[in-house]
Amino acid sequence: MICRDGCAEPTNSSYSGEAGDQPQRPPKIPRIEEEDQVESMKPPKPGLQRYLVAFEYIGTRFFGSQQQPHQRTAVGVLQDAFEKFVGQPVSISGSSRTDAGVHALSNVCHVDVVRISKRKPGEVREGDIMVIDVRSVPSDFHARYKAQERTYYYRLLSGPESLSTFERDRAWHVLEELNLQAMQEACKVLVGHHDFSSFRAAGCQAKSPVRTLDELHVTESVSVPNFPSVTESKPSDIGAQGVPNNSEKEFNGFCQEFGIRSGHRCLVVKARSHSFLYHQVRLLVGALKCVGTGHLTVADVQRILDAKTVAAACPMAPACGLYLGRVKYDLD
């Protein structure tokens, strides 16, 4: 999910966004890829029950998901909550790592606990993170290695107005208009079985850059929390002759009521695969955004893919718009 400046005719203003949400260059620290990380597969001790736990969190409140010394992480907070729940130390193994600032609608881990309470593990919650589902699984079930596929979503909000307080750090704010059709055409180049060397961070330590991207597409979605968006017509806004009520005035091409901000156009990128390279999704979104703004063509995306080097890619999208949406298992 990383890149260097490589879009056609790049300028400093080509990759617009809110302060702090600008596309970023690759980190220089190495990172162990999910399927290449060496981890113990030992079954739990007798008397322990293994649970598969789905949990959600706002990524901007954590220094990533994986436990790190002296840092507040999603798994670290969840582990502390479980230890309070069972009254003894526990060990949690996650299915997917997310970086600082990346959100999770449903990340998954497994935990081994002794049942010493009538409460269910699903009752565990700790402020910024919440367990949303729990399933007891066999003692040899591993949250990461048993995962069949992972789905990520990326939100882009397009429009010149500043983001709402409720949307800040929840999406990538792109000032320019985005060409949805062009972005959809670029997805067709990237989906499938490819060498994604141009779309992985310099620090990625996966043994192979080859991945199968089962799904990649862009759709337009309703922008929340405008209920509904002020750009959508409402019966109460239209007079008897089909003319907007006089209580409104024209602002930036839309009917704008006093005290109601203009909505943004919301595009959502969906990416689904068995596994992803480090920063692959954010690099893919960075390229799609450049196509949307006209700084790249679909042919340029093909050339970036064929180059097989991150030096040919665009700056990656910021973390704030990325959501881990689902980790799929066969639990039947």
Q: Residue 316: left (phi > 0), alpha (psi -120 to 50), or beta?
A: beta
Distance from C-alpha of 145 to C-alpha of 56, rounded to nearest angstrom: 20
Separation of alpha carbons 143 and 67, rounded Å: 16
Among 21, 36, 80, 99, the active-site one is 99
**Burial bucket for residue 269 (CB in 10 Å: 0-12, 13-18, 19+):** buried
220 backbone dihedrals φ, ψ, rounded to 5°: -90, 135
99 is catalytic: yes
Structure tokens at 325: 């949406």
| Helices marked H in 126-279 | 180-190
Q: How many angstroms separate the CA atoms of 94 and 67, rounded? A: 10
Alpha helices in the chain (DSSP H): 74-86, 180-190, 280-293, 298-307
Angle between helices 298-307 and 280-293 (to 10 degrees): 150
Best CA proximity match to 219, nearest among 266, 261, 251, 151:
266
Identify the residue whose tokens are 């208009």.
177
What is the b/e burial string over 188-216, where b = at least 16 CB atoms within 10 angstroms of the residue's CB? ebbbeebebbbbbbbbbebeebebebeeb
Q: Mind telling me the catalytic residues?
A: 99
